[in-house]
Structure 1
Amino acid sequence: MNPLLIILLILLIVSGLGLIVFILLHSGKGTGVSDMVASAVYSSQTGTSIVEKNLDRITIALAIIFMLALVALMFVYPQGTISR
């Protein structure tokens, strides 16, 4: 296997697993769409805590890494070009 393929696959797997973990760590905001709308209208707490902001930043960074690794794999190895 090509070292570039190994690096891209490791990035894809690690960022995908990280995304799963960090998305599951987010706290639930409500039980449905009505709770989401009601909390946006009647919320007295406008800001989020520092922990939630950091959790959001890490999740966004992992999503960007995941997408970049996926696009890089798509361009470097088009369909059917990876040989065993």
Structure 2
Amino acid sequence: MNLFLQILLIVASLLLILLVLLHRGRGGGLSSLFGGGMQSSLSGSSVVEKNLDRITLFVAAIWIISIVGIGLLAKLGG
């Protein structure tokens, strides 16, 4: 079970990094360095942003659950 949670944590961490980087930048931070500050007509719709937000929150919930699970197994098992 511990190995499964560790693998789940690694996969969720990588997915979370990828999903956060896919979000549109709100300000002029690092996203404008790579062209994120430019507005174009092909930049996506609000439906895509909402779905990306939902997927990000789902992966973040999996990440938190795996962290708590690993912590509980470490406390109870060793």
Give the TM-score range, shorter chain.
Answer: 0.7 to 0.9
Larger Rg: 1
Structure 1: distance between partners of 2:55 and 2:4: 21
Structure 2: distance between partners of 1:77 and 1:30: 40
Q: Scaled by the length of structure 1, what TM-score is found?
A: 0.68
Could you list the runs of 5+ residues in structure 2 that have no partner in the other structure?
30-44
The residue aligned with 2:59 is: 62
Give 4+ residue runs of structure 1 displaced > 4 Å after superposition.
none
Describe how 1:1-84 pairs up with structure 2 within 5 A. Answer: 4-31=1-28, 49-78=46-75, 81=78
CA RMSD of superposed structures (Å): 2.0
Q: How many residues are matched?
A: 63
Could you list the runs of 5+ residues in structure 1 that have no partner in the other structure?
33-47
Cα deviation, 1:17-73, whole Å, max 9, x if unaligned, reads: 0000000000111226xxxxxxxxxxxxxxx61100010001000110000000000
Q: Scaled by the length of structure 2, what TM-score is found?
A: 0.73
Structure 1: distance between partners of 2:26 and 2:61: 24
% identity of equivalent residues = 47
